[in-house]
Each structure stands twice: as structure tokens, then as C-alpha cells.
Amino acid sequence: MAIEPMIYVICGQRVMLDSDLAKLYGVETKHLNRQVQRNLKRFPADLMLQLFEIEEESLMCQFGTSKSQFDIR
């Protein structure tokens, strides 16, 4: 599986979506997120960000995407 198409640049930062990371590891997104929450000390804070609903909506409007497909490439 190619990783490069899963990397996005948002505000000058290279990011990957949790759903893409879950695919890479062969797990469901909710399980990946649960493990991150249970092991926060193992994940540096500067490697994670969580969009608030209003930020997600703003990005979707900015890139002309629908709520059913969050793709900002």
C-alpha cells in the first residue's frame, strides 16, 4: 500500500488521517483511536491533532468536499 497519497499538507504541516493509519495497520479506525487514548504517553503531542467539528466543517467547505467523504488532497 502506498503511503505518499495518504499524506496531506494542511497549514504547512504534513498529516495523515486516522482512517488511513488504521488501514496501514489493518485495524478499524475506532480501535486505533482507542489505543491512542489508552496510551497517550507513547504518542508525542506534536504528532497528533484532533479537529473540532467546526474546523472539519470549515475544511470540507474550503475544499468543496461532502460530509460523507473527507478528502482534502
11 has pLDDT over 50: yes
Question: 13-42, pLDDT tens digit by residue?
Answer: 888 888 899 999 999 999 999 998 899 888
Question: 35-46, pLDDT tens digit by residue?
Answer: 988 998 888 777
**Cell representation of residue 62:** 474550503
What is the rounded CA–CA span in Å between residue 37 and residue 40?
5
Residue 3: exposed, middle, or buried by beta-carbon count in 10 A (0-12, 13-18, 19+)? exposed
Predicted TM-score (pTM) of this structure: 0.62
The DSSP secondary structure of 14-56, one letter per residue, reads EEE-HHHHHHHHTS-HHHHHHHHHHTGGGS-GGG-----HHHH
